[in-house]
């Protein structure tokens, strides 16, 4: 059974950077789509970025474009999210998700994903 574990969250001032990592272990079949989602208190979960692990294609929410970069490290079985120029509105619990999809996207991933426990990101002004 696949297990996802996030790390790298924390508190940072606006304009700063954080790097989230999602370590994948114990999987019996390769996930073809991995992504990061976030949920702030009182708000719906939203997709941030996804990567098609078989072809390397990346997909970003408009709020993440130009500031966030998703990447995969196959040697360490991790998917990372580099977040730069953080804003207070980026504060949320960030979750890693992995799914076996024929076509990777932020829209399709949640319906079939396995999820990590989340890591908190807090951006202060």
pLDDT digits (tens, 9 = 90+) for 9-52: 999 999 999 999 999 887 656 778 999 999 999 999 999 999 99
End-to-end CA distance of the chain: 40
Angle in degrees, CA 15, 21, 105, rounded to 5: 90
Distance in angstroms (rounded) separating the CA atoms of residues 32 and 63: 24
* DSSP secondary structure string for all residues of 11-27: EEETT--EEEEEEEES-
Percent of the chain at pLDDT exceeding 70: 96
Which one has a higher pLDDT value, 18 or 99? 18
Q: Per the structure block, which two tokens stand in for 110?
A: 């949640």
Cα of 58 vs its chain's centroid, Å: 11
């Amino acid at each position: 059974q696949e297990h996802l574990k996030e790390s790298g969250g924390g508190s940072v001032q606006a304009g700063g950077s954080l790097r989230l990592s999602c370590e994948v272990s114990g999987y019996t079949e390769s996930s073809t789509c991995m992504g990061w989602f976030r949920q702030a208190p009182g708000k719906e979960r939203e997709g941030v970025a996804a990567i098609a692990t078989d072809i390397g294609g990346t997909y970003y929410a408009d709020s993440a474009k130009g500031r966030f970069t998703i990447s995969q490290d196959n040697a360490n079985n991790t998917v990372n999210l580099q977040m730069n120029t953080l804003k207070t509105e980026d504060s949320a619990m960030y979750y890693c998700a992995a799914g076996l999809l024929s076509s990777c996207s932020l829209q399709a991933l949640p319906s079939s994903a396995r999820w990590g426990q989340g890591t908190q990101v807090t951006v202060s002004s």
